[in-house]
Amino acid sequence: MPFDWSEYLALADELGGRADESSLRSALSRAYYYVYHLALKRAEDNDFKALSGEGTHTQLWRVFSTNPEPDCRKMAQIALRLKEKREKADYNAHYARIGEEVPDVLADARDFAARLGRLPARHPDPKSQRQ
């Protein structure tokens, strides 16, 4: 049975309720990876295949951001915002006001999942990218 990525969101919720910085950083990371894996599954269902030479994350968000469907492009914006915060949490020694970021990140992750749920199953279609 495949892993249920929604467990990452549940963990992000739990960690986001704690006061220690390591939990808050982990909450941001888990929320991003929840969104990433939902998007990757959908894209792979539509024949997305990452090519070597460039990161899968970059390729995946390009598929969303260049899709003619406006909601795909909005989802790419959300995902890239979450990715930026995840990278900051994972790599920067200082993250000012991280506790203030967590509720917005969790809300963005839920918004992304809801938009993906409403999106027609044929999107994102890697073959329909805008140039």
The residues near 6 (Cβ < 8 Å, ≥ 6 apart) are 34
Is residue 112 assigned to a domain?
Answer: yes
Question: What is the model's pTM?
Answer: 0.94
Is residue 28 assigned to a domain?
Answer: yes
Is residue 130 assigned to a domain?
Answer: no
**Cα distances (Å, whole numbers) of residue 24 to 31, 33, 78, 90, 110:** 11, 15, 19, 11, 17
- Indicate the average pLDDT of the chain: 95
Is residue 73 assigned to a domain?
Answer: yes
Is residue 70 assigned to a domain?
Answer: yes
Is residue 131 assigned to a domain?
Answer: no
Count of domains observed in the chain: 1
Query: What does the block give as tokens for 56?
Result: 């899968």
Q: Are 108 and 78 in contact (CB under 8 A)?
A: yes
Q: What is the pLDDT of residues 8-65, one digit of tens each?
A: 999 999 999 999 999 999 999 999 999 999 999 999 999 999 999 999 999 999 999 9
The CATH number covering residue 47 comes to: 1.20.120
Is residue 1 assigned to a domain?
Answer: no
Q: Give the range of the structural domain holding residue 71, as residue numbers without chain letter.
A: 6-125
Query: Once rounded to an integer, what is the mean pLDDT over residues 108-127?
Result: 95
